[in-house]
């Protein structure tokens, strides 16, 4: 699908709560696991919410921590303190 | 010659230990917390019953009236196991030590109003003994409780309370120019002064409470709520506002942070236990109904010590806070 956005994270225990949060917040998220990497495709728009990750992680989460385990992403980024959004919109 | 590089992807046969897969389902990755906590409780092959309680097994789920299909469900939302807990507490201790250093180095307590200093000393320092009681009680829960999520979290909570007792001691020494006499005076007050005797009796009563879930409710939910809301929130706010003791939050930073964080855990445990069955909810309600008035009565003279002119209003607000909290957990808990 051409209008998919994606994010790829390292497959480790730190990224696990982020992956769970993405799956919980994005309908239609497709998770594909490769060795060492997890790629998540979502049609149209992908959102990572700080609040959801905080809940899954059990402590306060700063969205900037995302970058520690980030491998790659596809889409335009719209980011603030509470949400990290990928989409192809302008 | 050309070399073809091929990658072969090997799909692991299993993601985790069987006992976790059984609980989570085969396709879920467990968290470190789940790996470190679930299934730790010894449950079989005890051979002999303990001589100190021959009616029960060494570890027995019937030491409480609360019935859970699986005590591993009483998880900690903070996901603390030894590693994460020590890292977090280490950071907090660093920050708290820096605060103490700063206050000492710049003599930030020197200009403190004598009247407020006396009030802080009189209210705060005897709480060392309350914190020690909480330490003992959580140790009891850790020893006689069932299911590693609760017993391990209570072990950490036990040490946290000891930390709180030590920080209170530090504050006392700071205020008392490092003269340990201040601690003897506080102990004397705790042992003999009438306004502390109700609370002391209550703490001693919790120490002979046998049901560990009941003790959890009384100590970690009711008593901690009252003591910390009164002293470290309401009294502290008044000290800042009326006494200009703006330095106090620096000294109680850890206590306040820890309290916010640990009450999330206490709430989650009670909410899950109540959600298990109507019997559990009813039992928890009975305990709250029995103990809430006792805690409130024991705290009345302490509230009078903190707020000589408006103790009744403050006490009502504390009770209100507990009722709101228990209502959120699916329990009722009006101060009867």
Residues of chain B in contact with residue A59, where contact means CB-CB under 8 angstroms, are 78-79, 88
Average pLDDT of the segment spanning A22-44: 92
Q: The domain spanning residue A62 has which CATH number?
A: 3.90.56.10
CA–CA distance, B29 with B23 (Å, rounded to integer): 11
pLDDT value, residue A2: 62
| Nearest Cα residue in chain A from B260 | A59
The reply to whether residue B79 touches residue A59, judged by beta carbons under 8 angstroms, is: yes
pTM over 0.95: no
pLDDT value, residue A90: 62
B 57-96 residues with CB below 8 A of A? 76-80, 88
As for how many domains chain A has, the answer is 1
| Nearest Cα residue in chain A from B75 | A58
pLDDT value, residue B333: 57
The reply to whether residue B78 touches residue A16, judged by beta carbons under 8 angstroms, is: no
Residues of chain A in contact with residue B85, where contact means CB-CB under 8 angstroms, are none
pLDDT in tens, B2-46: 888 887 777 778 888 999 999 998 878 888 999 999 999 999 999
Q: Alpha-carbon Rg of chain B, whole angstroms?
A: 23
Question: What tens-digit pLDDT sequence spans chain B (336 residues)?
Answer: 788 888 777 777 888 899 999 999 887 888 899 999 999 999 999 989 999 999 999 999 999 999 999 999 999 999 999 999 999 999 999 999 999 999 999 989 888 889 999 999 999 999 999 999 999 999 999 999 999 999 999 999 999 999 999 999 999 999 988 899 999 999 999 999 999 999 999 999 999 999 999 999 999 999 999 999 999 999 999 999 998 889 999 999 999 999 999 999 999 999 999 999 999 999 999 999 999 999 999 999 999 999 999 999 999 999 999 999 999 999 975 544
The reply to whether residue A13 touches residue B32, judged by beta carbons under 8 angstroms, is: yes
Which of B225, B281, B234, B246 lies closest to B67, judged by CA? B281
B258-264, long-range: CB < 8 A, 24+ apart: B258/B92, B258/B160, B258/B163, B258/B164, B259/B224, B259/B228, B259/B232, B261/B78, B262/B78, B262/B157, B262/B160, B262/B220, B262/B224, B263/B224, B263/B225, B263/B325, B264/B77, B264/B78
pLDDT in tens, B78-87: 999 999 999 9
Residues of chain A in contact with residue B31, where contact means CB-CB under 8 angstroms, are 13, 16-17
| Nearest Cα residue in chain B from A35 | B9
pLDDT value, residue B169: 96
CA–CA distance, B315 with B260 (Å, rounded to integer): 20
Write down the domain spans for chain B: 72-328
- Segment holding A72, helix H or strand E: strand A70-74
CA–CA distance, B278 with B272 (Å, rounded to integer): 12
pLDDT value, residue B71: 97
- Segment holding A40, helix H or strand E: strand A37-43
Which of B183, B178, B141 lies closest to B165, judged by CA? B183
Q: Which of A34, A35, A58 sits opposite B79 (nearest CB)?
A: A58
The reply to whether residue A58 touches residue B78, judged by beta carbons under 8 angstroms, is: yes
Alpha carbon A31 to its chain centroid, in Å, reads 11
| Nearest Cα residue in chain A from B32 | A13
| Nearest Cα residue in chain A from B29 | A16
- Top CATH class of B72-328 equals mainly alpha
CA–CA distance, B25 with B18 (Å, rounded to integer): 10
Count of A–B CB contacts within 8 Å? 19
CB within 8 A of B106, min separation 6: which ones?
none
**A57 contacts A44 by C-beta, under 8 angstroms:** no
CA–CA distance, B106 with B110 (Å, rounded to integer): 9
Calculate how close chain A gets to B80, using CA atoms only, in Å: 8
Pick from B29, B87, B156 the residue to mutate for testing the A interface (most A CBs within 10 Å): B29
Pick from B6, B36, B77, B265 the residue to mutate for testing the A interface (most A CBs within 10 Å): B77
3-state DSSP percent of chain A in helix, strand and coil, to 5: 30, 40, 30
Residues of chain A in contact with residue B9, where contact means CB-CB under 8 angstroms, are 34-35
CA–CA distance, B64 with B48 (Å, rounded to integer): 21
pLDDT value, residue B334: 58
Interface of A with B (CB under 8 A): 13, 16-17, 34-35, 55, 57-59
**B273 contacts B280 by C-beta, under 8 angstroms:** yes
B47-B52-B54 Cα angle (round to 5):
50
**B237 contacts B256 by C-beta, under 8 angstroms:** no
pLDDT value, residue B111: 84
Structural domain harbouring A64: 4-87
The reply to whether residue B79 touches residue A16, judged by beta carbons under 8 angstroms, is: no
Query: What ipTM did this prediction achieve?
Result: 0.78
- H-only helix segments in chain B: 18-24, 32-37, 82-105, 114-124, 127-144, 148-175, 181-192, 194-207, 212-215, 224-228, 236-243, 248-251, 253-276, 278-306, 311-328
CA–CA distance, A77 with B150 (Å, rounded to integer): 42
Residues of chain B in contact with residue A13, where contact means CB-CB under 8 angstroms, are 31-32
**B221 contacts B59 by C-beta, under 8 angstroms:** no
Residues of chain B in contact with residue A57, where contact means CB-CB under 8 angstroms, are 79
């Amino acid at each position: 699908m051409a209008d998919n956005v994606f994010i790829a994270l390292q497959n480790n225990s730190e990224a696990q709560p982020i992956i769970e949060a993405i799956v919980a917040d994005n309908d239609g998220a497709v998770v594909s696991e490769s060795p060492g990497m997890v790629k998540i495709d979502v049609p149209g728009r992908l959102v990572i919410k700080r609040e959801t990750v905080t809940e899954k992680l059990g402590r306060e989460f700063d969205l900037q921590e995302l970058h520690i385990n980030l491998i790659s992403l596809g889409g335009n980024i719209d980011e603030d303190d509470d949400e990290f959004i990928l989409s192809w919109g302008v | 010659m050309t070399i073809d590089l091929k990658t072969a992807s090997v799909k692991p046969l299993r993601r985790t230990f069987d006992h976790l897969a059984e609980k989570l389902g085969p396709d879920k990755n467990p968290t470190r917390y789940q790996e470190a906590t679930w299934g730790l409780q010894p449950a079989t092959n005890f051979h002999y019953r303990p001589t100190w309680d021959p009616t029960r097994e060494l570890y027995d789920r019937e030491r409480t009236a609360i019935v859970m299909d699986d005590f591993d469900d009483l998880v900690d939302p903070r996901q603390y196991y030894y590693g994460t807990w020590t890292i977090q507490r280490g950071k907090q201790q660093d920050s708290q030590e820096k605060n103490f250093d700063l206050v000492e180095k710049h003599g930030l307590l020197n200009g403190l109003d004598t009247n407020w200093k006396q009030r802080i000393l009189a209210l705060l320092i005897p709480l060392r003994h309350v914190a020690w009681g909480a330490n003992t009680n959580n140790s009891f829960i850790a020893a006689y409780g069932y299911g590693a999520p609760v017993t391990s979290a209570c072990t950490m909570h036990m040490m946290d309370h000891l930390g709180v007792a030590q920080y209170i001691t530090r504050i006392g020494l700071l205020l008392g120019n490092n003269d340990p006499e201040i601690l003897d005076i506080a102990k004397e007050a705790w042992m003999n002064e009438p306004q502390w005797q109700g609370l002391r009796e209550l703490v001693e009563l919790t120490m002979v409470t046998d049901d560990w879930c009941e003790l959890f409710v009384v100590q970690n939910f009711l008593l901690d709520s009252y003591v910390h809301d009164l002293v470290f929130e309401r009294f502290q706010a008044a000290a800042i506002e009326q006494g200009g003791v703006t330095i106090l939050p620096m000294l109680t930073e850890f206590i306040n942070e820890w309290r916010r964080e640990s009450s999330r855990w206490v709430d989650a445990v009670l909410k899950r236990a109540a959600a298990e069955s109507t019997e559990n909810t009813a039992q928890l309600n009975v305990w709250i109904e029995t103990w809430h008035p006792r805690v409130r009565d024991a705290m009345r003279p302490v509230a009078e010590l903190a707020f000589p002119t408006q103790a009744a209003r403050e006490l009502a607000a504390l009770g209100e806070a507990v009722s709101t909290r228990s209502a959120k957990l699916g329990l009722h808990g009006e101060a009867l």
